Amino acid sequence: MIGLLTEKSKGKVYLVGAGPGDPKLITVRGRECIGLCDVIVYDRLASPRLLRYLKPGAKKIYVGKLPDRHTMKQEDINQLLVDLALEGKIVTRLKGGDPTIFGRVGEEAELLQQHGIEFDIVPGITSAIAVPAYAGIPVTHRDLASSLSIITGHESPDKLDQSIHWDKVTLATGTLVFLMGVAKIGYIAEQLVKHGKPASTPVALIRWGTRVEQRTITGTLETIEAIVKAAKFKPPAVIVVGDVVLQREKLQWYENKPLFGTRVLVTRARAQSSDLVERIEEFGGEPCEFPVIETREPQNLETLALLQAAMADAPSYDWIMFTSVNGVDYFFDWLKKLRIDIRQFHRARIAAVGPKTAEALEKHGILVDMLPVKFQAEDLLDSLAENLVPGQRVLLPRGDLAREVLPRTLKDKGLQPVEIDVYETVIAQDQDEDVLDLLRSGGIHVITFASSSTVTNFLELLRRMGVEKPLDLLQGIDIACIGPVTARTAADAGLNVTIQPEDATIDGLIEAIAESRLKHRTK
């Protein structure tokens, strides 16, 4: 069982492969270990999105290496794992790819063993296989290559000659995969040709494979060094040598997805963002979750008293009008807390704004009587015009920031709207500082807003995080809004709204973003 300790005074270390970069390529066991640990020790080749699986309060220690410097020496990392475990901590050491393939896991595990510390090695999907696959290159092929060699290229030429027997490796297998060898590509190609590989042998280099920054270049052993220099191609990258590279022309798939190369900032509350996140991933983009709002039960005693009184008057309502999924979910939560049977609302007809709101009601066994073709409060009233009778009582379970157009118009028509705040919206806490780095470096391509409160809270959070002029920081980033009300709030705040779908749904938003990004790629 995960988490059992051999000694109560000692912790345990999980040496986990994070996979090649796409956070969904981590193994089930690896994700379990992230959720279990007290401390996570990770490097830059592990997707930062995996950190969302940490339990509350878990400590994060970054020990990543960059090409021009080491944040922490390997010997110090080894000792760090020992020290943390001796403190009784459960530690997850998260390493890119598979920890046993040039991941130096043996050194880490050996020192743990010397100190009597229990450890597990959790394999990961190696970049040697996954990265070529995402570039449309299978490393083996029935007609082209029945064997594979994985070779380190991250050494000086003299060390490469000591660790690689070029005369044996060059023709040993059908496909050669070099990891971390971009800076030595000329020397590698020279040695392969010198020891028998034809100069015309296809070569591919894939940088940041499986990620939004993935970039692929191809050539031959004779031409690849010049191509790399001309393209100013930088590490980290995987090098594939062999005829399997030619399969890319037919099998390229990831780079053909509509949102390939696009990182989308999602500002919705985390509880409501899953549909949007999944659709972004399905279209080949990378979602970056930055929830700027949180919802909770109202804290004001007067508000709670009004809510309870309105709910207790259940039999008197002719209509219940829901304008959001949150309104539905919190309404039913209050029914449970106040011990009110839904059948007490037997007189009320049910109306909803938007298909997602209607779906949320269906999950509670309620089918709506009225759903407008468009998804604003104004459209709901237009759809209901023939069914609204002066004097009817209308219950409006909403949030504290809901627009006033619905109750005001109902009053103007002679109806009796009863507004209750079943939840309140507050600015989110504990934001990821890495998002600022992405914004400053141009790593965010699209920002999505699903409500007016996400717009105002997002700008406020940037100010709280030290950004004096948020609008300047967001120049050049596409702003995508669901619905004209949200778009108007963004425009009033000074943002340039470039994407606004006609269909104010998640699917409509994704399709509009994909269409916009395709125009960027074809310019």
CATH number at residue 469: 3.40.50.10090
Does one domain contain both 311 and 192?
Answer: no
Contact 467, 436 (CB under 8 A): yes
Whole-prediction pTM value?
A: 0.80
In which domain, by residue range, is 399 found? Answer: 296-427
Q: Is residue 317 part of a domain?
A: yes
- Catalytic residue of the set 22, 38, 43, 421: 43
| Cβ neighbours of residue 87 closer than 8 Å, sequence gap 6 or more | 11
**1 annotated active-site:** no
pLDDT of residue 515: 93
Does one domain contain both 103 and 137?
Answer: no
Does one domain contain both 420 and 439?
Answer: no
**43 annotated active-site:** yes
Contact 92, 124 (CB under 8 A): no
What is the total count of domains within the chain? 4
pLDDT of residue 376: 60
Does one domain contain both 305 and 423?
Answer: yes
Looking at the DSSP assignment, which residues form a beta bridge with residue 219?
Answer: 203
| Cβ neighbours of residue 15 closer than 8 Å, sequence gap 6 or more | 93, 95, 99, 105, 108, 109, 119, 120, 121, 122
Query: Vertex 331, ends 329 and 332: CA angle to 5°?
Result: 70
Q: Is residue 5 part of a domain?
A: no
Using the 3D structure, point to which of 203, 238, 256 is the last residue of a domain: 256
The CA-atom distances, in angstroms, between 135 and each of 184, 238, 247 are: 21, 11, 10
Does one domain contain both 391 and 473?
Answer: no
pLDDT tens, residue by residue, 60-101: 999 875 544 556 888 999 999 999 999 999 999 999 999 999
Question: Which stretches does DSSP call E strand in 19-117?
Answer: 39-42, 59-62, 65-66, 69-70, 90-95
> Which residues of the chain carry a pLDDT beneath 50?
1-6, 67-68
The CA-atom distances, in angstroms, between 18 and each of 92, 96, 100, 249, 439 are: 11, 5, 12, 29, 25
**65 annotated active-site:** yes
Q: How many residues make up the chain in this entry?
A: 523
The CA-atom distances, in angstroms, between 518 and each of 212, 250, 513 are: 15, 21, 9
pLDDT tens, residue by residue, 378-432: 667 777 778 889 999 999 999 988 878 889 989 989 999 999 999 998 888 767 7
- Catalytic residue of the set 10, 12, 22, 180: 180
Q: Is residue 230 part of a domain?
A: yes
**Neighbour-count burial for 369-391, b at 16+ CB within 10 Å, e otherwise:** ebbbebbbbbbbbebbeeebeee
pLDDT of residue 224: 97
Question: Quick one: which H or E segment has residue 114?
Answer: helix 105-114
pLDDT of residue 317: 97
